[in-house]
Amino acid sequence: AQKVTQAQTEISVVEKEDVTLDCVYETRDTTYYLFWYKQPPSGELVFLIRRNSFDEQNEISGRYSWNFQKSTSSFNFTITASQVVDSAVYFCALSGLNDMRFGAGTRLTVKP
């Protein structure tokens, strides 16, 4: 069975701090995909990144970076120099053959 665990339910930081959101997954598939989505207060899920299980290169996009480590089954997400607009719920997700499993989400609050 597939499972995604986001142990941090809520995180609160002050603007300009760096913050890391943790994601640990379980799967028996050898080929799978990992995703991060953002759900701002407006409610619509916004795609951030997709990684496949064969590509462990870390990725940086502006203030966002992702650290994929197969050895620890983790796919962590770091926001550098956080901003108030980063406040949202962030979901990690795992895609197998026929479905997508989401974690319970981490609510990030960035205070000015």
CA distance between the termini of the chain: 41
Using the minimum distance from each CB to another protein, give the nearer residue, 13 or 104.
104
The contact set with another protein (CB under 8 A) reads 4, 33, 35, 37, 43-47, 50, 52, 91, 93, 95, 98-105
**Distance separating alpha carbons of residues 106 and 88, to the nearest angstrom:** 8
Using the minimum distance from each CB to another protein, give the nearer residue, 19 or 36.
36
**Distance separating alpha carbons of residues 112 and 39, to the nearest angstrom:** 20
Using the minimum distance from each CB to another protein, give the nearer residue, 97 or 112.
97
Residues 6+ apart with CB under 8 A from 24: 4, 5, 7, 72, 73, 74
**Residue position matching structure tokens 């197969």:** 70
CB of 68 to another protein, least distance (A): 15
CB of 99 to another protein, least distance (A): 4
CB of 27 to another protein, least distance (A): 13
